[in-house]
Chain A
């Protein structure tokens, strides 16, 4: 009996509803700071899944992800806001995603013909172009100061703070609490559609394309069409992430959508493990939440002083940066196939040990070792 619950936890079918329930809990306990981190992580996860499809599965490198995020975020803010057409927000959100897809489609003639690093350089241009347009097209983007994002409303229910604040089980539900569930829903949608896509014919065709272009085309895969389709789908996920980000930020500014953001997304899929949805999610949470949390709690560490207090000491932000850098090095060193690979190896080991000796203590996760059996490694 004692090993029943932990055993169930490692099983997919049982862990899914449990995970879903666990993810519904935070708004009841955590304050706005934590919920915002969660929202940023969920938005990043949606975007990272899109990039994982493109880079991990189709083997295409894109540095233009920040551009498509910006199209989604600004597209929503403009379509739903004033000045702008002032459409119903839900429709605007849908159109913003389609707009990001259309932007990807416009670029897809390039994406279909250029591959690997060359596509990376070509997409680099998008980020700079996008940033310039965001700064100069004042009437649409609001210029340097950006524009405020109208809250999303679905059938009379607004994902924003309202007076008086409604309470659920005694907990006041403000903007962050409500957006959390919207984020969860969008993330679940992304999770299932992306997994479905990866396991379907097009997903396998893309993987074949990544491994060998010649072999794939001999098998009857239309190289150019699949490449551009992957690019469009990836930019639509980025657009969706952009909409959620805009709702979480409540105001979009051009400086956020810089090259550094694109690089962050690449870091997410590499740290998480190329080519898997779960990996992209884990990487997104790692890259988004870790620096924020470390900055917040670094002042609890020894030798770290309060910001701006003394001379020459290490402040919380510096300490957080060192720690974050060290964490990345550790992950890449001990989990070269990413967090996803690490989790899979740990699970395999648990399963193997249990089948050998089904003792209650068998479920203690063993320390991960770099020598563990490693499955196929992707070459980027």
Chain B
């Protein structure tokens, strides 16, 4: 009995000692926490340039939140490689603002939680994000990006991303592309008043935004649009083709992924629905030209895109493709390479401009970016970033699949703004 009494008292005393010790440890240890003396990082470097997060005395760090293991792995890899190539080229020429450029790549595998954590991980150390892949990822990060004023080029083109100072959609938005697609159909494929167009589109903001554009343009041209909503997991479009056939469509628009485009065109051709098909830019990948659907794609498909074909003879594109093939001989050259490289070059231009104005803080970079009214990288059409509510460009190319060409596509029509786009933008 005596022993139990003693143990209990000892135990209570131990508990108190542990608690007191831990509290003392807390107070003592926070004194030497690395977070405590980690004051405002901003300031002025030795060369008189204002610096902020991600900019050191001789480095500029950019971030990339990409998908190298999820559904957009091919696209992600192309963009990452193209941007790394740009960074190496830039550093070989002496860097930007006498600093070397470094890209911190984080792979989120199309997982929102991983992406948000990765953002928290890299955000304090980067000045801007020239690549963020994945619409849900971009959506989840919008508020943080706006709050932190990190200039971001998302690899997504929905009009709902416009109107934010720090977020820049490069090129045209999906709705503008589809207005151009409808105009292309009426101009070259002989569609006339009263005809019906089918529009197969993903659910979510990609499909919704594209449908908005096609519906507007069709109403202007006196056409009727019949929409077919599909999921990203639907890869057999037989049912949609049957439905479109029953509607008697004269042409089909598709705003989905490459797998859906291949299925739509392949099934339509085999069932005798031989109508022109126009796809949004993300709906095509060069790998499709190695599938059995290739002949049907070559015969029926056109692609509307803000970027030229990789096989185009623009000198900038030619040089870029040549060095990319030299550096990554085993990788396919697709539109991701072009858009990734283009984004990196535009980012480089912004950084240079910000440096000339004497500051490389995030605010300075966003300000420099918004001051660009005619940013031309030689990789397509010039872009105007001064109006946050407007797409940076309204000119689109029309591309045709070609199994022989680099990247599987050739230019069919040069860049031009579809009539009606201005009216659409001002009405919105």
Contacts and interface: CB of A to CB of B under 8 A. Distances in A.
Interface of A: 4-5, 7-8, 11, 13-14, 17-18, 21-22, 24-25, 28-33, 36-37, 40, 135, 143-146, 148, 161, 169-172, 176, 249-251, 253-256, 291-292, 295-296, 306-309, 311, 315-318, 321
Interface stretch (B104-112, B212-220, B367-375, B399-407): B104-112
Contacts of B326: none
Contacts of A306: 105
B68 interface: yes
A58 to B, nearest CB: 28
A23 to B, nearest CB: 11
Interface string B110-130: 001110111011011000000
Contacts of A28: 26, 29-30, 33, 35-36
Contact of B15 (A13, A24, A254, A315): A13
A7 B17 CA distance: 13
Contacts of A251: 139-144
Contacts of B4: none
B133 to A, nearest CB: 12
Given A144-B135, A148-B143, A21 B23 contact: yes
Contact of B208 (A144, A169, A309): A144
Nearest to B12: A13
Most buried by A among B66, B117, B118, B331: B117
A169 B30 contact: yes
B303 interface: no
Given A170-B36, A308-B81, A33 B204 contact: no
B203 interface: yes
A120 to B, nearest CB: 21
> How big is the B interface, by class?
35 or more
B205 A40 contact: no
A127 to B, nearest CB: 14
B5 interface: no
A307 B105 contact: yes
B14 A317 contact: no
Contact of A253 (B30, B33, B114, B136): B136
A145 B204 CA distance: 8
Contact of B11 (A14, A146, A291, A309): A14
Contacts of B135: 144-145
Contacts of A143: 205, 208
CB-based closest 8 A-B pairs: A308-B80, A170-B36, A255-B136, A14-B15, A33-B121, A145-B139, A21-B22, A144-B204
Contact of B80 (A4, A7, A307): A307
A33 B30 CA distance: 19
Given A169-B33, A171-B36, A315-B68, 10 more contacts: A18-B22, A25-B26, A29-B34, A144-B139, A171-B35, A251-B144, A308-B76, A308-B81, A317-B69, A317-B108
B205 A255 contact: no
B35 A31 contact: yes
Interface of B: 11, 14-15, 18-19, 22-23, 26-27, 29-31, 33-37, 66, 68-69, 76-77, 80-81, 84, 105-109, 112-114, 116-118, 120-121, 123-124, 135-136, 139-144, 147, 160, 203-205, 208, 328, 330-331
A355 B8 CA distance: 17
Contacts of B66: 307-308
A256 B35 contact: no
A13 B118 CA distance: 38
Given A145-B160, A256-B140, A308-B81, A17 B19 contact: yes
A251 B33 CA distance: 30
Contact of B18 (A8, A176, A249, A250): A8
A318 B69 contact: yes
Contacts of A5: 14, 18
A321 B23 CA distance: 39
Contacts of B37: 170
B371 to A, nearest CB: 26
Nearest to B209: A144
B154 to A, nearest CB: 11
A11 B11 contact: yes
Contacts of B30: 28-29, 169-171
B22 A22 contact: yes
Contacts of A8: 11, 14-15, 18
B204 A171 contact: no
Contacts of B117: 33, 36-37, 40, 292, 296
Contacts of A256: 112-113, 136, 140
27 contacts: A7-B14, A14-B11, A17-B18, A17-B19, A21-B22, A24-B26, A28-B30, A28-B36, A29-B30, A29-B33, A144-B139, A144-B203, A144-B204, A145-B135, A145-B142, A169-B30, A170-B36, A170-B37, A171-B36, A251-B141, A253-B136, A256-B112, A307-B105, A308-B80, A308-B81, A315-B68, A317-B69
